[in-house]
Amino acid sequence: MNANQAARSDTGAAWVVILAGVCAALHVAKLPPAIPALQHELGISLVEAGFLLSMVQLAGMGLGVLAGLGADGFGLRRSMMTGLWLLFVASLAGGWARDIGALLVLRALEGVGFLMATVPAPSLVRRSVAPAKLTRMLGFWGAFMPFGTAMALLVGPAVIGGAGWPGWWWLIALLTAAMALWVRARVPADAPRARPLPAVGDWRRRLTQTLGSGGPWLGALTFGVYSAQWLAVIGFLPTLYAESGWDGALIAVLTALVAAANIIGNVAAGRLLSRGVAPQRLLWLGFGTMALGTALGFSGLTEHSPVLRYLGVIAFSAVGGLIPGSLFGLAPRLAPSEHTVATTVGWFMQWSAAGQMSGPPLVAWVASRSGGWQWTWAVLGACSLAGALLAWRVGRRLAAADRV
């Protein structure tokens, strides 16, 4: 085995990259279990809580594609480590914040760190594993967000109960610092470049190539309508259940299980794609189940059926996980060239951030205007319909590329 083959067989490094993504996801997901405490201590409103949930995605909404472009020039590992250290600093400072303005600014800074830590990850995984294992490993990578969210929802309430929400912020900051050191020790350093890459190494050329191709747009828009739904539902579940009078420990467990269920779809997507299942079918199944799940979980018709509501939300998350797992697995195929994979993933993340930025405040606004959560299913169902139409276009594009 030569050096290049050995580098492509380091699955241990790939798992460290995935765990770094999980650590970054903790910063996005640390807020939902803290919302009741923040409302009590800082007096924030439901809509302000929605903006706090989504503010971490502000940087991603405007800078995702640039982060993808910069990761290759700056270095994939270097970009991830810089992002982790930014998350550490912002979370450490956030523990001392005592007003909504400071928290919003620090959440935006966390968004920059999250972007820098996660955008280069698929390319780092691709660099670390053999081609035969790539689709499956990217399926595992697609689970970084639900896994981190589940951990935050499960552990967060206990930490907040014992150390307050500032202690929760500081604990995640320390974990992030440890993760940055682990990435430095375990993930191979970026190879130095003796000279710039020809043509494709030019940032403007790669940006034009990516944004001028339909594949990255289809994947990015599909990611956007998925993410808008997922964060809106997961982000407000603790608040919804608390308003229903449920016990805090039960809320933590039930919400964490909903988030963790998303891992099932992500991992399954990688395996099914590697076995030749059509991506369009996986995307359709995901969006169809998400529409049905939100109808069961939030419609007034199931108001007095808590078990049915909960099963609907579980299905929403579990089968919906097929969508990000499929899209991350398809990134190399939707990218216009192998030199634009990181840029394409950055564009995915940019639209994912746009969805997460708009979804929670919109759902919170609908809930506030209607006096409850009973009409949120209509907003989320519209996102699923748009996603199904985009999935149809993705399938047509992949079929056309296969015929060439």
**Mean pLDDT over each residue of the chain, to the nearest integer:** 83
DSSP for 7-58, please give it.
HTT-HHHHHHHHHHHHHHHHHHHTSGGGHHHHHHHH---HHHHHHHHHHTTH
Eight-class DSSP state of 192: P
pLDDT at 6 over 50: no
| Least reliable range by pLDDT among 222-226, 230-234, 262-266, 324-328 | 230-234
Q: Is the pTM of this model over 0.85?
A: no
For range 57-72, the mean pLDDT: 66
| Contacts with 378 (C-beta within 8 Å, 6 or more apart), sequence order | none
pLDDT in tens, 268-312: 988 898 888 888 999 999 999 999 998 888 777 777 777 888 898
| Least reliable range by pLDDT among 101-105, 210-214, 358-362 | 358-362
Query: Between residues 126 and 19, which one has the greater pLDDT?
Result: 19
| Least reliable range by pLDDT among 178-187, 233-242, 376-385 | 233-242
Q: So what's the pLDDT on residue 255? A: 81
Q: So what's the pLDDT on residue 198? A: 42
Rounded to whole angstroms, how far apart are CA atoms 333 and 344?
Answer: 10
Helices of type H across 187-278: 203-211, 214-243, 248-274
Q: So what's the pLDDT on residue 35? A: 83
Query: Between residues 6 and 237, which one has the greater pLDDT?
Result: 237
Most confident residue range from 70-74, 157-161, 252-256:
157-161
pLDDT in tens, 322-351: 999 899 888 888 888 877 777 888 888 888
Question: Per CATH, is 3-184+202-397 categorized as 3.50.50.60?
Answer: no
pLDDT at 1 over 70: no
The rounded percent of the chain whose pLDDT value lies above 70 is 88
Query: Between residues 202 and 39, which one has the greater pLDDT?
Result: 39
| Band of pLDDT at residue 68, cut at 50, 70 and 90 | low
Q: So what's the pLDDT on residue 7? A: 47
pLDDT in tens, 23-33: 999 998 898 88
Rounded to whole angstroms, how far apart are CA atoms 267 and 280?
Answer: 17
Q: So what's the pLDDT on residue 145? A: 84
Rounded to whole angstroms, how far apart are CA atoms 312 and 388?
Answer: 19
Angle at 382 between CA 377 and CA 388, to 5 degrees: 120
Least Cα distance to 57 among 122, 120, 102, 108 occurs for: 108
| Band of pLDDT at residue 174, cut at 50, 70 and 90 | very high
pLDDT at 245 over 80: no
